[in-house]
């Protein structure tokens, strides 16, 4: 498997990621054992980036990914999302993102995620998301380690608003640089 640095986050991610929407039955009912086995096979193939959302199966994908994380958490870069919770349910308020983040941590069975993304940001003013890290946790988004209420929980890297775009940008830039 080939890996790349994700911007300035300090994270090294596989160039192929695992999207967990099928774990949440987003494309039809999936047998849980088969779903979990596909995730284990991806890990065994060297895929370390798992892209997740509470929207996928109303949390089912996060619950299933949580089972995969048990005993292998340090191998996996977990990205999850906030802001979209149902087909027509969008809420990018600080309170809902905070609550959604805590809910995601509980479903995943972990006390941290590596990447927190705003899901479907086209439904929010693009200038608006800059407030989220400071409003949510009282720290600038450029600071590492974002403490959550009640007990310390953190993003292991820099909070990222839309890393898929950044990852695509870095891959495209690397590809352009390699082209004669």
* Active-site residue set: 56
| Alpha-carbon span 159 to 155, nearest angstrom | 7
Q: Within 13 Å of residue 84, how many CA atoms lie on the same side as its CB? A: 18
The residue among 134, 97, 99 whose CA lies nearest residue 117 is 97
Do β-strands 3-5 and 12-14 pair in parallel, antiparallel, or remain unpaired? antiparallel
Instruction: Say if CB 116 and CB 159 are below 8 A apart.
Output: yes
């Amino acid at each position: 498997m080939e890996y790349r640095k994700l911007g300035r986050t300090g994270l090294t991610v596989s160039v192929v990621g695992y999207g967990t929407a099928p774990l949440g039955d987003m494309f039809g009912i999936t047998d849980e054992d088969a779903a979990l086995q596909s995730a284990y096979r991806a890990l065994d193939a060297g895929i370390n980036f798992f892209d997740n959302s509470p929207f996928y199966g109303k949390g089912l994908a996060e619950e299933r990914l949580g089972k995969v994380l048990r005993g292998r958490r340090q191998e996996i870069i977990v990205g999850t999302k906030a802001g979209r919770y149902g087909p027509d349910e969008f809420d990018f308020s600080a309170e809902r993102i905070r609550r959604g983040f805590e809910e995601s941590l509980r479903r995943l069975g972990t006390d941290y995620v590596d990447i927190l993304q705003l899901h479907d940001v086209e439904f929010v003013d693009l200038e608006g998301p800059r407030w989220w890290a400071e409003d949510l946790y009282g720290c600038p988004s450029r600071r590492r380690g974002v403490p959550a209420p009640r007990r310390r929980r953190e993003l292991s890297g820099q909070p990222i608003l839309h890393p898929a775009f950044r990852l695509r940008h870095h891959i495209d830039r690397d590809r352009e640089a390699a082209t004669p």
